[in-house]
Amino acid sequence: MKNIYIVNYCSPGCVPLKSVTQVDESNAFEFAKELSVNNSGTSFNRFGNDFKWYYPKRIRTEEWLYDRFVALGGKPMTQHPVYFVVNGSDYLNKWFGGGRITKLLLNDIDSKDISFTFGDSMSKMDKPEREDPFLKETLFGLIEKYDSNINLFINDICKGFNYIEAQLWNDKYFKDCISSL
């Protein structure tokens, strides 16, 4: 399972690898307002008038992800993950306006620090097709069913989901990325 990456997208003009849920609620609303005023594009609609609905659902989604990850044996170092996708997504690259991209080699990440969901965890949160998060070993097992061909696996998964989301629960993996930007 070499050369499998997780990829984070960040709109132009934003600080990558940050989330509005990493700060307390009042600061999250201020942060969201700043994002919606100073940026445009599809990815920023959620930070405007919709934020009053977006934020509680995001918090509820992250609580569910956290609880399920811990139940699977994960050891999160944060309450709120940073979101990536497995091997990238043209869909998300366009949605984030072709901004900054951060790629991390999945083999460099300990299984106790990362979880995965089929599709966007928040958009699937209240849907009947939602599936629980799973671990890196499960992901590798699924890819093995495709003769270890990540591209075949991703292409098949994308028929029902746009991508596989990865939730990284430890920022030690991208500390160097932030300092180099």
Ramachandran assignment for 88, one of left (phi > 0), alpha (psi -120 to 50 degrees), beta (any other): left
The CB density around residue 26, as the number of other CB atoms within 10 Å, is: 8
Q: Kindly calculate the radius of gyration of the chain based on its CA atoms and give it in whole angstroms.
A: 16
The pLDDT, as a whole number, for residue 1 is: 67
Separation between Cα atoms, residue 170 and residue 181, nearest integer Å: 19
Q: Count the domains in the chain.
A: 1
Provide the token pair at 86: 């497995």
Which neighbouring-strand residues pair with 116?
134, 166
Tell me how far apart the alpha carbons of residues 67 and 38 are, in angstroms, rounded to a whole number.
34
CA dist., res. 146 & res. 136, Å (int): 16
| Residue 93 identity | N
For all residues of the chain together, what is the average pLDDT?
85
Q: What is the pLDDT of residue 78?
A: 94
The pTM (predicted TM-score) of the whole model is 0.88
Range of the domain at 12: 5-179
Residue pLDDT, tens place only, 53-106? 889 999 999 999 999 999 999 999 999 999 999 999 888 888 777 778 999 999
16-48 pLDDT per residue, tens = 788 888 888 888 888 777 766 655 554 455 666
pLDDT in tens, 46-56: 666 678 888 99
Q: How far apart are CA 48 and CA 34, in angstroms?
A: 9
End-to-end CA distance of the chain: give it in Å, rounded. Answer: 29
